[in-house]
Chains A and B, each alone.
Chain A
Amino acid sequence: MEDLWYQLPPLAQDALLLVGLLLPVLLIAAIVLRGYAPGPLIGALLRRFRWANLVFVLLIALSVGMSIGLIAQERGLRIGMAQAADKFDLVVAAPGSEMTMLLAAVFLQPSDVPLLSGATYTAIATHENVEIAAPLAFGDSYKGSSVVGTIADFATYLSDDRITGHLWTDPFEAVAGAAAPVALGDTFTPAHGHGAAAEQGAHEGVRFTVVGKMARTGTPWDTAILIPIEAVWMVHGLANGHPLSAGDQIGPPFDPDLFPGTPAIVVHTSALWANYALKSEFSRDNETMAFFPGTVLANLYRIMGDVRQAMSVMSGLTQVLVAASVLLGLSILTRLFQRQTAMLRALGAPRRFVIAVIWSYGVTLLAAGTALGLGLGLGAATLLSWLVTHRTDVLVQASLGWNEVHLAAAFLAITSLLSLLPALVLLRQPITNGLRA
């Protein structure tokens, strides 16, 4: 049985789980409603208590929406971060913190790190199966955007060759990300450093011209400006990586002896297994460190997962509390309905009919609130995602996943089961009490 379950495609599992969660609701509906047509009475109840009903529906929607918004947002963020790291199969850097390098290379939050030598770069670049070995030279900025020295192939790779204009042909040309504060044809002088600490004028007299603009990638690299790594070295008074005999060559191969160093190398291979070979080869104590950004992120999520579970428990508790207060409210409202219940019983309505009316009334409110909550959750997650995207340039897209739908269905199933209680309590009252009230 268990084997069979795991053999099912994920979509079938999710759909079956949803059906399973909603089954109690459908089952109760089938049992209590069979042979009856209480629609007009349910409509009358909905109309009679319309303001209270509206408040109930909104309360339920808010609680469901909050839980769902949190989950959807968290997942959107996770997916967004994973996508931001997607192009970075393997990163090689000087030994240190993987997290620091991940933040620098993938999320463009650089910090001072030791450099890798030209020999290391050449060893990686000339390794078989390596398609791109892009050195990344951080440190400069322009109007808050990172100015990163690298090779032309990296710009092509990063943007999937979607570049308006052309790649650089001169060391002082630049290719900008879609959200970088420069347009095609603009010229700019980068500042040394980042943010408030940036030294304006450190690179006085150096002017870059933007000759290419990359299409949007949904990663922090959208704000970056790429320049040839040779220009970074030259601006900082270092060798440009090529012998004089190479003339004005830009890009690899570099002369290992004339290679001033690079904080990180992004590696893209032609085969997945090659990543693992390279990782083990370049994980050398005191020399180099190689890591998969995806793995580092996964570890991060694992830690965050505990937080997420705590959040889930809290939002679950909130929902239970809201459900409890809604049920309490329903019981109070159904007490107002006591005379009519007694009248129905006096006219020969079976108990099950009275249960059908009150249960359907409650479940209508719960279902409306849950559905509205799904919408609210999506709205909240979209808003949060927009904010995160705006602030971090990590494209976060919120969407409703099966997780959220299952959560909503479970909430509906439990509360609709509990909705039988007010009707049962009401039916315990002697009929004549209600008639005489």
Chain B
Amino acid sequence: MGLSLRVEGLEVPGPDGRVLLRLDTLSLPAGARLGVRGPSGAGKSTFLYAIAGLMHGARGRVAWEDTDLLSLRTEARTRFRAETIGMIFQDFLLFDELGPMANATLTAMFHPRRRRAPLRARAASLLEQLGLPETPRPVATFSGGERQRVAVARALAADAPVLLADEPTASLHREAADRLIDDLAELARARGTTLVAVSHDPALLERMDQVITLQDGGLVPEDTVGAARTARETA
């Protein structure tokens, strides 16, 4: 089951002290799917990294259920991420030299020993569900779509209740992107995972329960599910 998210008074300063992102309140129920859109430089990635606890100097409150991530120290946040958050990146960030299974079980290397076997079993079943071949062949030889699906398996293998995706379809062609969106939405729904996806892709945003738009480091107020529909229609 996913976690709920409550953001209050979030302020993320940049290296020069200028505020990159300011967000008064945002609530997301457990298991919800949130799309984040907006022009380049609007602060979408900053938002995603901030709710993952990766932005140093972020102020305010980012609470996953009862845990205020910003009140934790660096290593505690890291531990929280290991247990709670799976992440997918635009350019996959896989280890090209390793096979799909080794990539999908990457986090087993630093998870406690007792959690490794279940993690491996889950990764294997996820790879199968995602239609990836059982091969030790390095993922460097895989297509973009296959690689991103390996990344999805990696993000979900630890059974994280939260999945954060940063432009997951931006490096894929249409067909692969559609398949990935299906997989992602389906897996998130089946597991009740809370999904936050930053994307330009209307096809992806359409599958979200809620879409917000960021602009100039702030929330554009009229965002609703309806806005997502409009986005799709104008696309």
Contacts and interface: CB of A to CB of B under 8 A. Distances in A.
Nearest to A436: B45
A155 B232 CA distance: 107
A74 B54 CA distance: 58
18 contacts: A36-B110, A38-B109, A40-B102, A43-B97, A48-B97, A340-B95, A343-B93, A346-B81, A348-B82, A348-B110, A349-B82, A349-B109, A349-B110, A350-B75, A350-B78, A350-B82, A353-B109, A432-B49
Contacts of B158: 348
Interface string A153-178: 00000000000000000000000000
A47 interface: yes
Contacts, number: 87
Given A349-B110, A353-B109, A339 B97 contact: no
A44 B54 contact: no
Q: How large is the interface on A (under 10, 10 to 19, 20 to 34, 35 or more residues)?
A: 20 to 34
Interface of B: 45, 49, 52, 54-56, 74-75, 78-83, 85-87, 89, 93, 95-98, 102, 106-110, 112-113, 116, 154-155, 158, 166
A44 B97 contact: yes
Given A48-B96, A348-B79, A348-B158, 19 more contacts: A35-B110, A38-B109, A40-B102, A40-B109, A346-B87, A347-B81, A347-B86, A347-B106, A347-B107, A347-B154, A347-B155, A348-B82, A349-B107, A349-B110, A350-B75, A351-B78, A431-B49, A432-B55, A435-B93
Contacts of B109: 36-41, 349, 353
Contacts of B154: 347
B221 to A, nearest CB: 27
A348 B157 CA distance: 13
A339 B91 CA distance: 11
B69 to A, nearest CB: 12
Given A41-B95, A348-B82, A432 B54 contact: yes
B87 A347 contact: yes
A345 interface: yes
A37 B78 contact: no
Contact of B82 (A43, A347, A432, A436): A347
